[in-house]
Chains A and B, each alone.
Chain A
């Protein structure tokens, strides 16, 4: 019986991975390190509506605004809706944003790490692939500083982009609406 259940589970998991839509971000094969020291693939994020942003955690100006915008956006969701949504922050500064540094940031910023995943990739080209898929632009400017886009995305449970904003001044209602639709 146990063997049967295990087989059924593996079958279910392999089916899930194969069934990813062609425009899912989770099509990018890559391994990422999280704030709690896990190594995950993008397709491991499958299964929940997701708020996603690319940031770097030593950033003093724009990234804190992105993160507070996400918190503000979450405050507009029902408790049930919020609880079933995950937030994924992807750092494009793997040198500084080690799992320990990301864990320290999550603690300091009081992020609910049951739902918030902070992650990065030591392979810069994988970060650039994800950025290319998101049309997110970033460039290192001297020591530890970056210029980068301001973007927040809503993904469905399969990693397909359903809504986005690409400036701080843009109305976030479009993101709340998308999440509300996904929770139906």
Chain B
């Protein structure tokens, strides 16, 4: 009965992906030497959001249809791999991660489910962990993936690896949006953090970074700082999180 009432009041949650608990801990952001960030426990979607799941959202929230979404929130490539406003088209894509979605649309999806996008700290903390069975070193696994071209058809979710928390496809499938992607790491910022920029991207500058060999993290931070809220990219998707309480 309680379950039924719950679904009556929160119908969107019926479609929600399964979430798993990530036990919090410390991580050392790549761009700041000797800084430890404490990340609290949080729940996260077990997999990235799929085309099928995003389609359910669009059907219930028509302002996010391809033909309705405002240019302030999405660029012209929004959901460009879909056949139409309410059809993915290629059924083999139903269970593959949705991409070509903007930060605004990803944020709206998570909010529709009573969740939010993961923060950079939550994501980077999670990104440290490779396959639960330790079959591969996480840094090598990421670099192998980064060096490959994005396939024309993205594989289904749960096609790469599961980490020790039970979270699938953290690396190897797509890049993912973060809630606070628009924090300050790029040149031209007010506090003269062009030095920060150098410490992130330049070979010589990377001496100042926490782990100069962690190119994968450098690339993630570089990619984030190049994004804009309405950008959509063919290998950029998302998943959602929820606080423990």
- A-side residues, CB < 8 A to B, are 22-25, 27-28, 61-62, 125, 128-129, 131-133, 135-139, 147-150, 166-168
Q: Is the CB of A27 within 8 A of B184?
A: no
Known contacts A137-B189, A147-B190; is-contact A132 B104 (Cβ 8 Å): yes
| Minimum CB–CB distance for B111 against chain A, Å | 8
Q: Is the CB of B188 within 8 A of A166?
A: yes
- Which chain A residues border B193 with CB–CB below 8 Å? 147
| Minimum CB–CB distance for B150 against chain A, Å | 24
- Which chain A residues border B189 with CB–CB below 8 Å? 137, 147-150
Question: Does B186 belong to the interface (CB within 8 Å)?
Answer: yes
Question: Does B86 belong to the interface (CB within 8 Å)?
Answer: no
Mask for B58-72, Cβ within 8 A of A = 1, else 0? Answer: 000000000000111
Closest to B187 in A: A167
Q: Is the CB of A62 within 8 A of B183?
A: no
Q: Is the CB of B186 within 8 A of A24?
A: no
Partner of A148, one of B71, B180, B184: B184
Mask for B18-58, Cβ within 8 A of A = 1, else 0? Answer: 00000000000000000000000000000000000000000
Closest to A170 in B: B188
Determine the distance from Cα of A149 to Cα of B72 in the docked complex, in whole angstroms: 20
Closest to A65 in B: B190
Known contacts A27-B72, A135-B229; is-contact A128 B182 (Cβ 8 Å): yes
Determine the distance from Cα of A150 to Cα of B184 in the docked complex, in whole angstroms: 11
For the complex with contacts A129-B104, A138-B184, A147-B189, 17 further pairs of A-B residues with Cβ separation under 8 Å are: A23-B70, A23-B71, A24-B72, A27-B73, A62-B190, A125-B107, A131-B182, A133-B230, A135-B228, A135-B229, A138-B183, A147-B190, A148-B191, A149-B188, A150-B189, A166-B188, A168-B190
Known contacts A22-B72, A27-B70, A147-B193; is-contact A137 B183 (Cβ 8 Å): yes
Mask for B76-117, Cβ within 8 A of A = 1, else 0? Answer: 000000000000000000000000000110010000000010
Question: Does B179 belong to the interface (CB within 8 Å)?
Answer: yes
Q: Is the CB of A139 within 8 A of B72?
A: no
Closest to A132 in B: B229
Determine the distance from Cα of A184 to Cα of B184 in the docked complex, in whole angstroms: 37
Determine the distance from Cα of A147 to Cα of B188 in the docked complex, in whole angstroms: 11
- Which chain B residues border A128 with CB–CB below 8 Å? 179-180, 182
Mask for B175-199, Cβ within 8 A of A = 1, else 0? Answer: 0000111111110111101000000
- Which chain A residues border B229 with CB–CB below 8 Å? 129, 132-133, 135
Determine the distance from Cα of A23 to Cα of B69 in the docked complex, in whole angstroms: 10
| Minimum CB–CB distance for A137 against chain B, Å | 4
Q: Is the CB of B188 within 8 A of A62?
A: no
Determine the distance from Cα of A135 to Cα of B73 in the docked complex, in whole angstroms: 12
- Which chain A residues border B107 with CB–CB below 8 Å? 125, 129
